[in-house]
A = this chain, B = another copy of it.
Amino acid sequence: MNLFPSKKRLAHIIYESDDRASKNFDLVLLILIFMSVTVVILDSVEEIHRDYGRFLYGLEWFFTLVFTVEYFLRIWLSNDKPGYIFGFYGLVDFLAILPSYLSLFLFQTQYLTVIRALRFLRILRILKLPHYIREASALKSALKNSQTKIQIFVGSVLTIVLIMGSVMYIIEGPESGFTSIPRSMYWAIVTLTTVGYGDIAPSTSLGQFVAALIMLLGYAIIAIPTGIVSSEMTAARFDKKNARQKDLYFCPNCGLHVHNSDAEYCRKCGTKLEPLNP
């Protein structure tokens, strides 16, 4: 309980989360992140900015300085400095302080500090919930399985958007808001995704006919990503179910291999197998 802990002890407090000091550090950090994001949001509301702008500006710089100190502490204490700096968490930590300094030179960039919200992901590491990690792995493997389908889907959507946008630009023209092909493509995306702002809408009969065709097409197309996700999730759900019924384990990492009931590590990728809740 000395006031200046050793470097090793400090590294433990900052990087781990298994005793009182390190848990408190993580808790304080999460509260600071939450308050910092709240300050940025509040400051953007004109009425609040008018009355409390100076106070919030001060608070924001206080949080930025605290996070800056923490960032350099993490670099200093890390055993694998480049691994931290260029890793996911290191980049998020860096991006969380960058906008404040940029705002000294560039207008309004201080609002980008909301990217600090990404630091909440640290909760996952702190809580170390196997549930979340398993689900995330399942999602990752589902995405990997349906990669080709997704590529075909995105390619088709972009082609439809390009061609339909051009056709509507020719049919409707600038009078209805279709002032250029890029803007018509924006309209096509607004329509295909069924968002439908109505800021740009066809006004000629032919334009409305073509727009109706695009909508019915969008109706069919929206079924495709849903179908991909549903089928992958159903498949994953049955894997889990089968594994449970047969007392077998399902590897959260490589996903497709069935393990013997006494297996503790995946025989393919070596991932520790979590026992499924009974």
Contacts and interface: CB of A to CB of B under 8 A. Distances in A.
Interface of A: 37, 40-41, 44-46, 108-109, 111-112, 114-115, 117-118, 120, 131-132, 135-136, 139, 148-149, 151-152, 154-155, 157, 159, 162-163, 166-167, 169-170, 174, 179-186, 189-191, 193-199, 201, 203, 205, 208-209, 211-212, 215-216, 218-220, 222-238, 241, 244, 256
Nearest to A220: B225
A112 B169 CA distance: 10
Contacts of A152: 132, 135-136, 139
Contact of A45 (B41, B159, B182): B182
A228 to B, nearest CB: 6
Contact of A195 (B115, B157, B215, B224): B215
A194 to B, nearest CB: 5
Contacts of A224: 229
B197 A194 contact: no
Given A219-B222, A226-B229, A236-B231, A41 B182 contact: yes
A183 B170 contact: no
Query: What 5 A-B pairs have minimum CB-CB distances, sorted nearest first?
Result: A227-B229, A195-B196, A197-B198, A231-B233, A44-B181
A109 to B, nearest CB: 7
Contacts of A44: 166, 169, 180-182, 184
A108 B232 contact: no
A103 to B, nearest CB: 11
Contacts of A231: 230, 233-234, 236-237
A97 to B, nearest CB: 16
B225 A225 contact: no
Given A117-B162, A195-B194, A227-B232, A170 B109 contact: yes
A167 B111 CA distance: 8
A277 to B, nearest CB: 10
Contacts of A198: 196-199
Given A114-B166, A223-B225, A201 B193 contact: no
A163 B215 contact: no
A195 B162 CA distance: 19
A139 to B, nearest CB: 8
Nearest to A109: B170
